[in-house]
Structure 1
Amino acid sequence: MIPQYASALFISDLHLTPSMPLTAQRFFDFCEKDAPKVEAVFILGDLFEYWVGDDAALHSPFQQEVKRALATLSTKVKTYYLHGNRDFLLGAHFLSKTGMTLMHDPTKVSIAGNEYVLCHGDSLCTADIGYQVFRSWVRKSWIQSLFLKMPLHWRRAIANRLRSNSGMQYRRDKQTAPQGAQDKTDVTLAACSEILKNQSGNLLIHGHTHRPAHHQESLLDQEWQRWVLSDWDLDHPESLQPRASALLINQNGVRYTDLIKAG
C-alpha cells in the first residue's frame, strides 16, 4: 500500500550548512510555518551539504538544531526522507531522533488522487558515466561500512575533497563545452522512461539538477510529466539569484510555491 495524502509539500537540495545561515533560517521557518499546512512533507535528498555519519551530528550544534526542527515538524505532519547524493549516509539513528520515515529511491506516493514517482534525481543523469560508476561504488554497503569506521576527521577531509573535485570538474567542463556540461549533469529521457516503466507511473518528481521546471515529455509511445525541485540558496546573492521554493500538491493541482516571498 503506497502512502496516500490529500496534500503535500516537496523540497530537496537545501544543502544546509552553518556557512549558509540565511538558507538555514528559511528552513527553520518552513518547518514552523509552511509545512504544518499540509498532511505530509517529502524531503527528496541533499538536505545537508554533506553527511559523513550519524556520529558526526552528535558533535555538530548546527546539525542538532536541524534535528530538533525536524523532530518538532514530525509531531505535526508526516515527514518522509529520501537519500540524496550528498547525504546518502544519513542513517537510522538520526532518522529515529527526527521521527522521519525513510523512503526508497525510487518510490511511489498518492497525493490528492494522483500517483507520483519520487526519486532524488542523480540516478537519472545517465549521460555522466563517470558519476554513475562512482555512485554504484559508494552505494555498496561494504564500502560505506569501511568509510564509517574511519576517524571522523578523515571522513570530513574526504568529503571536502570530493566536493572540491566535483566543483572543479564541472567548471572545467563548462569552460570547454558549456552545453555539453549542462547536458551531462541533467537527466536523460531514457532514464526517466525506464524508472517510470518500472514504477508503472507517468508523473515524476525529483531534485538534484537544480533546474526547477515542469516538463511534458515523451519517448517512443510513452508520455509523462516531470517536475524538478529547486535547490535553496539565500546566502550568495552576489553570484546567484536567491532561490527557495517547494512543490505543493493538493486538490487544486500542482504548483511551485515561492518561499522567498512567503518568508
Structure 2
Amino acid sequence: MHTLFISDLHLTPHRPDITGCFFQFMRNEAVNADALYVLGDLFDFWIGDDDPTDFANQIRQEFKRLTQHGVPCYFIHGNRDFLVGRRFARQTGVTLLDEEATIDLYGTKAVILHGDTLCTHDVRYLAFREKVHQPWLQWLFNRLPYWVKKRIVAKIQTDIRSDKSQKAMEIMDVTPDEVIRVMERHQVNLMIHGHTHRPAIHQLSDDPQKTRIVLGDWYTQGSVLVYSDSGYSLGNRLFTQQSSL
C-alpha cells in the first residue's frame, strides 16, 4: 500500500525526454499505487482545456488510462497550470482539489499544496497570481480563440522568465512563518508541496514534530514521493528512451 506525489514536471512538447519519463512512471509505477497526487505545474503552461494538440491529447489519455485502471488521481493547480478546469477533469477522471487540501495518509493527517502561496516575500509574483486567479478574468480568457490565447501566454512566459532571472533565490523560497501558519491552520504535523524545485525533507526548527516534504522538479530527472503505511521516501526516476503511446 502506497501513495505517490509528483509536481513541477513542466511537461512540454519541447522536452520529449520528460514526457517519456512521465509515461513510464504512469504505466509502470502509478498504476500500482493506492492514489496519485499531482501538486501543480504538471505543464510548462496550460493554455486551456480546449487545447487541441496531439501533445495535450496524449497527456489526457495517460491520466484517463490510469483512472480507468482504478487508481484515484488528484490535482492541485500550480502557477503554470491554474487554467486546468472541469473539462480536463471530466475527460481524464482526475479530481481537482482546492489550493490547500487536508488528506489522510494511512493514519497521518497532512496538508498538501503547490507551494507558491508559501513564498510571501515574492510580492510581485503574488500580485500577479491574485490578478490571474480572478474568476471573471479566467472566464473571459477561456472564451478567446485558442490562437489568441497562445499569443497572450507566449508574452506572459517571456515576462515571467525575465522577472525570475532578476530575483534572488531567497525571495522565491518559502517563508518559514507562513509554513507554520498553514500547518497550524490545518492542525497537521506534515506538509507536502512543490514549486521551489528544492527537493528535501525538513524538520521544522520551531517544532521538530512537524515535517515539510518538498518535491523536486523534473528538468533532469523525475522526482517522486512514495508514502506508505510504513514510511516514506523521496527519490528520483532517471530519464530513458521516450515511451510510445
Distance in 2 (CA, whole Å) between partners of 1:60 and 1:262 is 24
Secondary structure at the residue paired with 2:73?
A: strand
Distance in 2 (CA, whole Å) between partners of 1:225 and 1:41 is 20
Shift in Å, 1:232: 0.5
The reply on whether 1:101 has 2:95 as its aligned counterpart is yes
Contact 1:245 1:260 (C-alpha < 8 Å) held by counterparts: no
Corresponding residue for residue 218 of structure 2: 232
Shift in Å, 1:112: 2.1
Distance in 2 (CA, whole Å) between partners of 1:171 and 1:144 is 27
Secondary structure at the residue paired with 1:42?
A: strand
Shift in Å, 1:262: 9.3
Name which of 105, 108, 125 aligns with 2:119.
Answer: 125
Highest RCO, 1 vs 2 (Cα 8 Å, sep ≥ 6) = 2
Q: Which amino acid in the other structure matches residue 157 of structure 1?
A: R
Corresponding residue for residue 150 of structure 2: 156
Distance in 1 (CA, whole Å) between partners of 2:145 and 2:240 is 42
The reply on whether 1:48 has 2:38 as its aligned counterpart is no
Contact 2:18 2:239 (C-alpha < 8 Å) held by counterparts: no
Contact 1:193 1:222 (C-alpha < 8 Å) held by counterparts: no
Bigger mean CA offset, 200-209 vs 189-198: 189-198
Corresponding residue for residue 75 of structure 1: 68
After TM superposition, the structure 1 = structure 2 runs for residues 212-227 of structure 1, keeping only pairs within 5 Å, are 212-219=199-206, 224-227=210-213
Corresponding residue for residue 178 of structure 1: none
Name which of 243, 247, 254 aligns with 2:232.
Answer: 254
Q: TM-score, normalised by structure 1?
A: 0.87
Q: Which amino acid in the other structure matches residue 122 of structure 2?
A: D
Secondary structure at the residue paired with 2:233?
A: strand
Corresponding residue for residue 169 of structure 2: 182
Question: What is the count of residue pairs matched by the alignment?
Answer: 240
After TM superposition, the structure 1 = structure 2 runs for residues 135-174 of structure 1, keeping only pairs within 5 Å, are 135-173=129-167
Shift in Å, 1:16: 0.6
Secondary structure at the residue paired with 1:123?
A: helix
Which ranges in structure 1 are unaligned for 5 or more consecutive residues? 1-5, 174-180, 234-241
Corresponding residue for residue 243 of structure 1: 221
Secondary structure at the residue paired with 1:182?
A: coil
Percent of residue pairs identical:
37
The reply on whether 1:211 has 2:206 as its aligned counterpart is no
Secondary structure at the residue paired with 1:187?
A: coil
Q: Which amino acid in the other structure matches residue 18 of structure 2?
A: T
Shift in Å, 1:170: 2.0
Contact 1:124 1:188 (C-alpha < 8 Å) held by counterparts: yes
Distance in 2 (CA, whole Å) between partners of 1:138 and 1:224 is 32
- Larger % of helix: which? 1
Q: 1:261 to 1:161 in 2, by over 3 A?
A: closer
Q: 1:261 to 1:138 in 2, by over 3 A?
A: closer
Q: TM-score, normalised by structure 2?
A: 0.93
